[in-house]
Amino acid sequence: MVQPWFERAVESSRQTVTNRGMCVRDLVIEGTGTWNAELLIQIFGHQVCLQILTNIQPPRDGAGEDRLVFIDSSTGAFSVKQAYKNITSPRHNMQSSKVWKLVWRKGSILPRIRVFIWKLLHGALPLAKNLASRTSRGDPTCVVCQHDDEDVLHMLFMCPFARACWLRGPLALRTDRLSCDLPSIFTWIFDHSSEETWTDMANTAWAVWRCRNEKVYGGKVPTFERFQQILNLISREARIVAVAHLKKGARVEEEGAQVSSSLKVYRCMVDGSWKPPWRGGIGFVVEEDGVLKGYRAAPCTVCCPLQAEVVALKEAILFVKGLGLQSCSFFTDNQILAQTSMAQQPPLDADWRAYKEIQEIWGLLKENDFECLHIGRSHNGLADYLAKGGSTLDEGYTGYSYPAFNF
């Protein structure tokens, strides 16, 4: 009997095939690529023949170019598991080792956006088409344009909203002229884009994704104004982190700074920024013998520069306590604050605008092995930059390691 290459063939047919060496290709008319209907009827009968002609495409010679689907594993040995991953993953069409290194290392990109790009290239984003393929009730239609199926290529480049964002964005890119193969697009991007261009592309992709999610989970109609707002926020945040990386070698210098003879192992540079009437920002960086432990930039509502500095110092002390550090030297370029917070007695004559916070700082310093010292403004550049950047943010940003950016 013919092998059950078509399940209903054996179940429905009661005829016996005398030529047991017959193959499926023997049922195709040579040179035409069509089924031999008469032979199918002779072997399987009219009912099964109709099912075969309706549901199955005949095999054809030269139906596509051969391509390599097995990529050498780390051990050099073939495995079915590795072959399956190579076939189902988009990486089999990309120069994997080169592309993934660039995803993690190229450009001034925030860590969470790098993870987003990694998921995007792995096809791991919860897009409509992806979800529909895994559930029986899912709708693969794009949630934004309600026209085409929503896969990665459509959501990111081909959706009318995404195309408008790329065209009016910082790169003025016409995505309708891009290739229809996502791995080829990103391989070309990595090969031809500069560090700055790749950063802009990653941030733009993230902003498009955020607008799409606000539609899915919040019912908000995506607009270019909202896209531009998200893009500006993420770009400012990336600049703050980038400057922190560039200045990570900054050290407290003895010259021009009033410091004690035995500094603590942990040091925290603190600064505050203020713009009338109530807009302020705080920034601080914690280091252990020059190795970063954490930093923060955040907005605050204050009425004067002193209050901004006091809020920054208080937040820095609480942050250091949260890290579980037992001793730390805090540096501020506000001499009055340094002297007041390190006084032997509670500062009862402290400025009324920040009286409560100064009292709390004095108590925190006495309770712990902490000290607050004055440092010249020229030696406090990183904290100053973070404070000014924090005043422009809508919400605070905290980091614990300098990203591996290449400038």
Q: Kindly state whether residue 278 falls inside one of the protein's structural domains.
A: yes
Pairing of strands 327-332, 369-374: parallel
Averaged over 172-201, what is the pLDDT? 76
**Range with the lowest mean pLDDT among 12-16, 69-73, 96-100, 218-222?**
12-16
Entry pTM: 0.48
Q: Kindly state whether residue 260 falls inside one of the protein's structural domains.
A: no
Res 14: pLDDT: 44
Averaged over 105-131, what is the pLDDT? 83
- Are 111 and 210 part of one and the same domain? yes
Res 183: pLDDT: 67
Q: Kindly state whether residue 259 falls inside one of the protein's structural domains.
A: no
Res 63: pLDDT: 55
Res 330: pLDDT: 92
Q: Kindly state whether residue 214 falls inside one of the protein's structural domains.
A: yes
Res 213: pLDDT: 92
- Are 117 and 189 part of one and the same domain? yes
Averaged over 173-194, what is the pLDDT? 74
Name, in order, each residue with C-beta under 8 angstroms of 90's C-beta and a sequence gap of 6 or more.
121, 122, 123, 182, 183
Helix axes 111-122, 195-218, angle to 10 degrees: 80
Task: List the CATH number of the domain containing 322.
Answer: 3.30.420.10
Instruction: State yes or no: pLDDT of 16 exceeds 50.
Output: no
Q: What phi and psi, each to the nearest 5 degrees, are found at residue 288?
A: -120, 105
Res 352: pLDDT: 75
Q: Kindly state whether residue 348 falls inside one of the protein's structural domains.
A: yes
Q: Kindly state whether residue 394 falls inside one of the protein's structural domains.
A: yes
Res 257: pLDDT: 40
- Are 240 and 308 part of one and the same domain? no
Res 36: pLDDT: 85
Token code pair at residue 328: 């730390």
Q: Pick the more confident residue, 204 or 354.
A: 204
Model confidence at 62, pLDDT cuts 50, 70, 90, reads low
Averaged over 166-188, what is the pLDDT? 78
- 272 near 363, Cβ under 8 Å? no
* DSSP run (H or E) holding 7: helix 7-12
- Are 300 and 343 part of one and the same domain? yes
- Are 116 and 231 part of one and the same domain? yes
Model confidence at 2, pLDDT cuts 50, 70, 90, reads very low
Radius of gyration of the chain (CA): 32
What would the pLDDT profile of 248-297 be if each residue is shown by its tens digit?
444 433 333 443 434 557 889 999 998 888 889 999 999 887 778 888 88
**Range with the lowest mean pLDDT among 64-78, 147-161, 390-404?**
64-78
Model confidence at 52, pLDDT cuts 50, 70, 90, reads confident
Per-residue burial over 219-228, b if 16 or more Cβ lie within 10 Å, else e, is eeebeeeebe
- Are 222 and 273 part of one and the same domain? no
Q: Kindly state whether residue 300 falls inside one of the protein's structural domains.
A: yes
- 107 near 405, Cβ under 8 Å? yes
Q: Per the structure, how many domains does the chain have?
A: 3
- 359 near 213, Cβ under 8 Å? no
Res 137: pLDDT: 67
- Are 105 and 217 part of one and the same domain? yes
Cα distance between residue 5 and residue 158, in whole Å? 39
What would the pLDDT profile of 297-354 be if each residue is shown by its tens digit?
899 998 888 889 999 999 999 999 888 888 888 999 888 888 888 887 777 766 777 7
- Are 237 and 318 part of one and the same domain? no
What would the pLDDT profile of 121-145 be if each residue is shown by its tens digit?
888 888 888 888 877 767 889 989 9
Domain that holds residue 333: 266-399
Angle at 303 between CA 299 and CA 309, to 5 degrees: 60
Q: How many CA atoms lie within 13 Å of 202's alpha carbon, on the beta-carbon side?
A: 30
Domain limit, last residue, from 245, 275, 292: 245
Nearest to 328 by CA among 260, 245, 402, 256: 260
Domain limit, last residue, from 245, 274, 292: 245
Instruction: State yes or no: pLDDT of 174 exceeds 80.
Output: yes
Q: Kindly state whether residue 84 falls inside one of the protein's structural domains.
A: no
- Are 275 and 348 part of one and the same domain? yes
- Are 273 and 389 part of one and the same domain? yes
Averaged over 183-212, what is the pLDDT? 82
- Are 318 and 208 part of one and the same domain? no
Res 18: pLDDT: 52
As a whole number, the mean pLDDT across the chain is 77
Most confident of 127-136, 177-186, 216-225: 216-225
- Are 291 and 169 part of one and the same domain? no
Res 161: pLDDT: 93
Instruction: State yes or no: pLDDT of 392 exceeds 80.
Output: yes
Instruction: State yes or no: pLDDT of 12 exceeds 50.
Output: no
